Amino acid sequence: MEVLHHPGECVTGRACAVTIGAYDGVHIGHRMVIDRVRRVAAEQDLASAVVTFNQHPAAVVRPESAPSLLTDLDQKLELLESTGVDYALVVQFDQSRSEESAEDFVREILVGCLDARAVVVGHDFHFGYKRQGNVPLLQRMGADLGFDVTGLRLFRDGAGGQPISSTRIRELLAGGAVGEAALLLGRPHQVRGIITPGDRRGRELGFPTANVALSTAFVLPAEGVYAGWYQRADGVRRPAALSLGRRPTFYEHADLALLEAFLLDFTGDLYGEQARVEFVAHLHGQIRFESVRELIDQMGRDVDATRQLLDVSTP
């Protein structure tokens, strides 16, 4: 996949089948749309392209209510590349772009930059100044400018028949339902951060943990204890028992939640490395213990449960 940044870069020499959106999370519904784009591209001998943005448009248009993100731009591009799409066009979304008319966006991006011959979006897709652009507008402009438009209904999951959306995934994560969220994402929810020094309590308790510094801009699951995976900078994944919370046994009034990862069967220095942490299963909520001994016993049970859930044998 070739990544282009606009303004400044466009697809040259090839007409495209295109989809447009924030694509936060690149969940299985997004992938179904991209699959449709790739099929259309193959049928019409076109390149396939995803138009997305360097930041979520809501962060500019309504920052006070903008959603927390499931993925940052780097992770989003990695996930888009895994779909097999030919191009990702990352449009800089700023105040000026938010005031651009839908018609100008079509002429500049879809026609001028991508030579679009086919456009595939959700049936309720809106874009441009005050969200005045929609599928009927695309269809009218496409008839004049030479591209076909397909508006797709939201895909629904097979279990409850509910729409698959980034909003629904955020709600599941907020409730700690990381397994259900993973079904809609097509993978476990992942957060990224640098390993920073902590207060070494985990080491004193016999469970040394890596403290992951996290951005508040991204979605975190509900506070609690989880089984998951820790991916190191070299790509090696290790099973981990994860604690996300304010550590009520020691800090009754902590302001911020801390993510701690205990890597099973690992010894070594992780400070300063970029970690990728995946949440696989929720074990239980945060618990305030009356004694350190009770906490240590529970941590042992959490590690055993993590081994069982991730099918990791004791060395």
Q: Which of the four pLDDT bands, split at 50, 70 and 90, describes residue 160? A: low
Residue 205: pLDDT over 80: no
CA dist 97 → 94, 128, 246, 256, 297 (Å): 5, 8, 40, 34, 55
With beta carbons less than 8 A apart as the criterion, state whether 110 and 15 touch: no
Per-residue pLDDT of 282-300, as tens digits, reads 999 988 877 778 888 888 9
**Mean pLDDT for the stretch of residues 111-127:** 95
- Write out the two tokens for 261: 């990862």
Does residue 85 or residue 203 have the better pLDDT? 85
Note the pTM of the prediction, 2 decimals: 0.89
Per-residue pLDDT of 133-155, as tens digits, reads 999 999 999 999 999 999 998 88
Domains of the chain: 2-152 (3.40.50.620), 189-310 (2.40.30.30)
Cα torsion through 237, 243, 246, 250, rounded to 10: -120
Does residue 22 or residue 315 have the better pLDDT? 22
Give alpha helix (H) positions in 122-200: 135-145, 166-174, 178-185
**Mean pLDDT for the stretch of residues 38-64:** 96
Q: Which of the four pLDDT bands, split at 50, 70 and 90, describes residue 116? A: very high
Q: Which of the four pLDDT bands, split at 50, 70 and 90, describes residue 2? A: very high
Residue 314: pLDDT over 80: no
